[in-house]
Amino acid sequence: MRLRISLFISLVLSSTILFSGPSWCASESILNPTESLVSLPYLGHVAIENSPEKAGTTIYKKDKAFSGYSIYTSYEGLDVFANLIDMDGRLVHRWVRNPQDSTLRWKQAIPFPDGSIFLTNEQRPVGWELVDANSHSIITYDIPRHSAHHAAYWLKEGGFLGLTSNTIRIRSQGLRFKAYDNSLVWVSSEGAILKMISLSKLFREDGGYQEKLKEAHDYLKDYQRKSSQDKAKRPIFDFFHSNTIVRLEWDIPGVLKKGAWLVTVRNLNRIIVVDPVKEEIIWQWGENIISHPHDASFLKGGKILLFDNGVSKHFSRVIVVDIRSKQIVWQYGQKPGQEFFTAERGSVQRLPNGNTLINESNKGRAFEVMDSGEVVWEWYADFRTQGQNKGKRRVVGRIERLPYNFFEGVEFNYGVIKR
């Protein structure tokens, strides 16, 4: 039975509506012979190092890499799925979207030991969804007039932190225009909205945000002079485009307390820390240093790891920032031989052995580096075989490495792969 929770904001922020709908079985789609290992030659294929046709795992140094499964999302047109691969690039398990839900895009998949995954969709009517190991929808969450945005953070006590996008009207010096606002939301597992904080309110007095408003005002003022332009086609401005939210799970003495929220705000080139009780920004960094960042996360020792897309400089890097000093203490992507770039998306994960997993999303490439910068694992996504982008490599939305013993008693739909 599929349970859908629609989240309504009331004065007490707790009203919910629950109703059930038909479930969907994905077994036939997953195990269709046309999607077998035979017809997916990239799985386990080790390509010639300098070939433009690279696919699958091209580098794997077993004695240095953190070995496990990798789960990644891909969303292009009607082809939306999450794949689980082993270190050799062989497909172990696949979750697929209900083909009837043609508007949904799986931007992020958070896995659980029982094989279920918690998904963030960027298109309504479904905001967030939990599906089981066979892609059956278990429960969905939705906030009316808001779309889920990019990523969520599952709380160990249940429920999640999420990001939403909705359209607001702004008045500036006699002009009115539309813009996308982002909100930080805290939702219980039962679907109650426990907190909702608007970024437009958090940044109301911020100089960078005010500059964005001025740019929008000047653009529209010039737009109005061109009488031939259709006013109905005015742009909707995107000032924030936040893409990651995580919770601090420990105290950083003298700096931040457990429970603070870390948010990556792409279009303001910031990472910010928000006090959810006071509803205010208590720490921020990045303006004039990073360009269109993604996927910031807390590290032990009072540090933050993030993916700097480097759009203004046309090269990406992964950096570690010390929260106290606000200085970059480690980075990858600056030295010869480390070059990589994705103008959009991008993700990064610090692994248990200290290595770093980097996702060059638009090029469909993921790789693991040691602290020294040595690449110890590299993998390329396959090429699309149909549709408008036939022949082009798949985009990898996000990727995460899991220990081999992460799953408990899950019957993988492509079989257990030897480690």
Instruction: For domain 2-403, give the fold.
Output: Methylamine Dehydrogenase; Chain H (2.130.10)
| CA–CA distance, 368 with 358 (Å, rounded to integer) | 6
Q: Can you give the pTM of this predicted structure?
A: 0.85
Q: Are 397 and 74 in contact (CB under 8 A)?
A: yes
Please report how many Cα atoms fall inside a 13 Å half-sphere around the Cα of residue 32, on the Cβ side. 12
Q: Tokens representing 106?
A: 């799986």
Give residues with Cβ within 8 angstroms of 125, minimum separation 6: 103, 142
Radius of gyration of the chain (CA): 22
Tens-digit pLDDT string for the chain (419 aa): 456 665 543 323 333 322 222 222 222 222 222 222 222 222 222 232 334 567 899 999 999 999 999 999 987 666 788 999 999 999 999 999 877 776 678 899 999 999 999 999 887 678 999 999 999 999 999 998 999 999 999 999 999 999 999 999 988 777 888 999 999 999 999 999 999 999 999 999 999 999 999 888 888 877 766 655 555 567 889 999 999 999 999 999 999 999 999 999 999 999 999 999 999 999 999 999 999 999 999 999 999 999 999 999 999 999 999 999 999 999 999 899 999 999 999 999 999 999 999 999 999 999 999 999 999 999 999 877 666 767 788 889 999 999 999 999 899 988 654 43
Burial 170-197 (b: 16+ CB within 10 A, else e): beeeeeebebbbbbbbbbbeebbbeebb
Nearest by Cα to 338 from 381, 359, 369, 361: 369
